[in-house]
Homo-oligomer: A and B are copies of this chain.
Amino acid sequence: MSIIVLGTVALDTVKTPFGKRKFMLGGSAVHFSMSARLFSQVNLAAIVGKDFPQKHIDFLRNKGVICDSLIRSSGKTFKWEGKYEGDLNIAHTLKTELGVLLEFCPTLTEAQKKIKHVFLANVDPDIQRGLLESMRSPSLVGLDSMNYWIDTKKQSLLRLMKKVDIYVANDQEAKSLSGESNLIKAAKALRACGPKMVLIKKGEHGVLFYCDKFIFAIPAYPIEKVVDPTGAGDTFAGGFMGYLARAKKINAANIKKAIAYGTIAASFNVEAFGTDKTSRLSRGGLEKRLRTFKDCVTL
């Protein structure tokens, strides 16, 4: 099964209590790809600048990621710089250089337009809508966003939500967009905006899934040494969407499995900088930790 992910490919500079990395490969679409590739063939729709190291593109291709719609432009690659302190749950953004993101107009190949599964990771909602409208007849559309767009392009985001199946948000975004402080109420309000399924990511506290038929919640996999949480949410989304793209049916059992795979993939992400762990992750490694996880959460 194939899946399209639209999002960012970035050069991240990250400082945590465990060290500092400069200009490492990052971005929502990259983190998503590292876990989604374990289940589906991932097609990347993103943009980088002329300063983007070719080795990173080779690396992505080596991981099986299709880069036909990864545009290389003459500008500068999107760069994010941040630090984590204390409990590592909150990222403090130090610098953001949008660079080529400002001119991003994603295009898919004719073959990619026919792909049935798509995840619109965090970029401008108008860009997300543009890509979605270029697709022939997607059967499962996931959408992520962030506070910046909720604050500045709320109407665009709300319009887009009517056209997607799954809305993925962290708890703060869910509260902010819905205006509800209770997460169940927030999930219900977001569901009323269009998406049949709402998935709220709560970081170290796990995830909450809401649809009309059932609610599902699981904690995060317990990790003692969180080295760098950057991209954990995208890695979660990649495991979740990647598994659903592969599953034959979107039913409760498969949704729960997809959430479990996403959770486990995210637990590997936070254990090392950038994609250091997730890029080396195998399906077997994922399954092994999932078995341990089941013991930790099964009543």
Q: Which residues of A contact B (CB under 8 A)?
A: 86-88, 175, 181-185, 188, 202, 204-206, 208, 214-219, 222-226, 256-257, 260, 294-299
Q: Which of B86, B181, B218, B295 contacts A297 (CB 8 A)?
A: B218
6 interchain pairs, CB-CB under 8 A: A182-B225, A183-B204, A184-B224, A185-B224, A216-B296, A219-B219
The reply to whether B215 and A296 contact each other, CB–CB distance below 8 Å, is yes
**Residue from A88, A219, A257 with most neighbouring chain B CB atoms (10 Å):** A219
* Docked pose: A294 CA to B299 CA in angstroms: 7
- The CA of A214 and the CA of B222, in the complex, are separated in Å by 11
Nearest residue (CB) in B for A224 is B184
Q: Which residue of B lies closest to A293 (CB)?
A: B299
CB distance from A102 to the nearest CB of B (A): 36
Docked CA distance A105–B136 (Å): 76
Q: In the complex, are the beta carbons of B87 and A297 less than 8 A apart?
A: no
A299 pairs with B296, CB closer than 8 A: no
13 additional A-B residue pairs with CB within 8 Å, beyond A86-B181, A185-B224, A216-B297: A87-B182, A182-B223, A182-B224, A182-B226, A202-B205, A205-B205, A215-B222, A217-B222, A218-B297, A219-B219, A256-B299, A257-B299, A260-B299
Greatest chain B CB density within 10 A among A86, A202, A204, A294 is at: A204
Q: Are B299 and A181 in contact (CB under 8 A)?
A: no
A101 to chain B, nearest CB (A): 33
Bound Cα distance A114, B188 (Å): 51
Minimum C-beta distance from A258 to chain B (A): 11
* A88 CB, nearest partner CB in chain B, Å: 7
Chain B: CB-nearest residue to A290: B299
Query: In the complex, what residues of B have CB within 8 A of residue A185's CB?
Result: 224
Query: What are the residues of chain B within 8 A of A222 when measuring CB–CB?
Result: 183-184, 208, 215, 217
A181-B88 in contact (CB<8A):
yes
A218 touches B215 (CB 8 A): no
Task: Name the CB-closest residue of B to A214.
Answer: B295
Complex CA gap A256/B295 in Å reads 11
B297–A297 touching, CB < 8 Å: yes
Taking CB atoms, residues of chain B closer than 8 Å to A215 are: 222, 296
Residue of B nearest to A223 (CB): B184
A184–B221 CA distance with the chains assembled, in angstroms? 11
Whether A205 contacts B223 by the Cβ 8 Å rule is: no
CA distance A234 to B42 in the complex (A): 48
Q: In the assembled complex, how far is the CB of residue A201 from the closest CB belonging to chain B, in whole angstroms?
A: 12
Shortest Cβ distance from A190 into chain B, in angstroms?
A: 14
Q: Do the beta carbons of A217 and B297 come within 8 Å of each other?
A: yes
With a cutoff of 8 Å between Cβ atoms, the chain B residues found around residue A223 in the complex are 182, 184
Q: Within the complex, what minimum Cβ distance (angstroms) separates A82 from chain B?
A: 18
